[in-house]
Amino acid sequence: MSLHIGSIAPDFEQDSTHGRIRFHEWLGSSWGILFSHPKDFTPVCTTELGRAANLRQDFEKRGLKMLAVSVDDVESHKRWVSDIDETQGSRLDYPILADADRKVATLYDMIHPEANDTLTVRSVFFIDNNKKIRAIITYPASTGRNFQEILRVVDSLQLTDNYKVATPVDWKDGDDVVIVPALQDPADLANRFPKGYRVIKPYLRLTPQPNR
């Protein structure tokens, strides 16, 4: 089964550094990111997991739970977490799935055989509070992810859920946003965007971020 934006994130049960996790139950009514790491005790993954731990408050502020996946066992993960905390100045307290049987990696198509037939690529699944996949990003093992970009995507998803706007190139929280082209009624526009808007082209209209 291929997973797309809009698919329900498949449920699973797997061991983790925090015990057995039933994914949907664990998510509850929160948003979540599920992100994979090729292997324990590897340098790029060590920096990524440390950064994610250090951004804990930023994830919590957005109502987001973090869940990492790596294809080694719990004991290995626990030893690795000590190294991560020691080298990255973190206190890693989100769970890491022990996906030694590749159950989750297979379910989420995180193993790309043309890249490597046993290790996962670096996938990130953004899952909303209705368990729907809202965005997917994929990097090769050699490229560490940018966790500010992950937060930026969450900000865009959560903003555009609540307002009839989209976020333009390189947008970050607080910047002007684009009014969706479908919105044309002048009264509706005035009501939704009391701070006004600029028409650059009829299809390109910018307005201050409505929730700021």
Provide, rounded to whole angstroms, the least separation between the CB of residue 44 and ligand BEZ: 3
Q: In this structure, what token pair is assigned to residue 121?
A: 């690529």
**Token output for 86:** 């020691």
Can you spell out the DSSP letters for 29-70? TSEEEEEEES-TT-HHHHHHHHHHHHTHHHHHHTTEEEEEEE
Q: Contact positions toward ligand BEZ, by CB under 6 A? A: 38-39, 42-45, 141-142
Backbone angles phi, psi at 114, to 5 degrees: -70, -20
Residue 193 CA to residue 186 CA, distance in Å, equals 10
The residue (of 120 and 207) whose beta carbon lies closer to ligand BEZ is: 120
When the beta carbons of 72 and 176 are compared against ligand BEZ, the nearer one is: 72
CB of 191 to ligand BEZ, least distance (A): 50
Side-chain-side CA neighbours of 136 within 13 Å: the count stands at 16
Which residues are the active-site residues?
Answer: 45
CB of 94 to ligand BEZ, least distance (A): 18
Task: Kindly state the smallest distance separating residue 203's Cβ from ligand BEZ, in Å.
Answer: 42
Cβ closer to ligand BEZ: 7 or 42? 42
Give Cα separations from 70 to 15, 43, 89, 98 (angstroms): 11, 14, 21, 6
- Looking at beta carbons only, is 27 or 141 nearer to ligand BEZ? 141
E strand spans, 46-144: 64-70, 96-98, 122-127, 133-139
